[in-house]
Amino acid sequence: MTNKIMNINPSTLLFVPGNQEKMLDKSKTLDTKWLIPDLEDSVAFDDKEKAREIVSKYIPLLKSSGKYLVPRINSFSTGLTEADLEKIVTTDIVGISIGKIRNPEELQTLDRLILKIEREKKIKENSIFLLPWIENAEAINNLNNILMSSERIKWIAFGAEDFTADMGISKQIEDNPSDQSHLIFARSMIALTARSHNIHSLDTPFTAFRDDEGLKKESKHAKSLGFKGKLSIHPNQAKIIEDIFMPSDKEIEEALTIMKAANDAKSKGRGSTSLNGEMIDMPVILRAQNTLDNAELDYEKY
């Protein structure tokens, strides 16, 4: 894909209910640049058509205020997918988010539907990317094939609420609400498989939006598993998530020190070196480079 936005991987995208005009209007002034106007779970079924009209109206307004938009459409099981696409696929969005994906065939169908609309509306072909949600056991089982099903897939998200409902389990362990160890396998599968396809993985939203400490803890846990960000449902969550997933000053300083040591070794014809008693070889160098890339820093300038 040639869209320059495709090279940007934010650490969070903020949900905005598609039937709430006041929230959509307020979103124009938020610091958060990436928004998901939602037509799916945050909208009651009887309000779906109204929400579609509202989101369609606000898409150009939000775009003109500097926002990047990835609307979430209704899943195939609702029968509303095509109508959603017809209304909201324009040059003012950068992607489409879709939940409850189960198999690669659904994403291939979605790809074809978007391509048809791109051609009809004279939008650059393949310029709109996909953000599918992994929210059920079937999708976990089909994960590798799902991620290979369309070149439009840029990001992927874990949806814990629907996943636990599908599995018939609680999101929290009863005697320890902060313990989500039973979700580690699903989370790890998503982060690991996404990384193997060079796809940006985003962790499930933290629904207790007034619990900042809980959000920090869960975000750090997601980061430790390899997720590159976490979705947000409240403006106050976005800054917390961004701070956690953005490399710290200490991490940046360490990465710069490693890159300097590696460059010094390279200039002397050595493939590895040591720093503070520890080996600096290619895996360590790549990790340092990833840290600086995530911080959007060019180490050669330092």
Supply the DSSP string of 216-271, one letter for each residue: HHHHHHHHHHT--EE-BSSHHHHHHHHHHHSPPHHHHHHHHHHHHHHHHHHHTT-S
pTM of the model: 0.84
| Residue 189 banded pLDDT, cuts 50, 70, 90 | very high
- CATH code matching the domain that covers 4-245, chosen among 3.20.20.60, 3.20.20.70, 3.30.70.1140, 3.30.1650.10: 3.20.20.60
* Residue ranges matching CATH 3.20.20.60 in the chain: 4-245
Query: Greater confidence, 189 or 256?
Result: 189
* pLDDT single digits (tens) 113-138: 999 999 999 999 999 999 999 999 99
Q: What is the mean pLDDT of residues 76-85?
A: 97
Residue 261: what pLDDT? 78
Tens digit of each residue's pLDDT (9 = 90 or more) over 87-121:
999 999 999 999 999 999 999 999 999 999 999 99
**Residue 145 pLDDT exceeds 80:** yes
Tell me what percent of the residues of the chain surpass a pLDDT of 70.
91
Tokens of 154: 């840029």
Given a cut of 70, whether residue 174 has pLDDT beyond it is no
> Comparing 108-117, 140-149, 162-171, which segment has the lowest mean pLDDT?
162-171
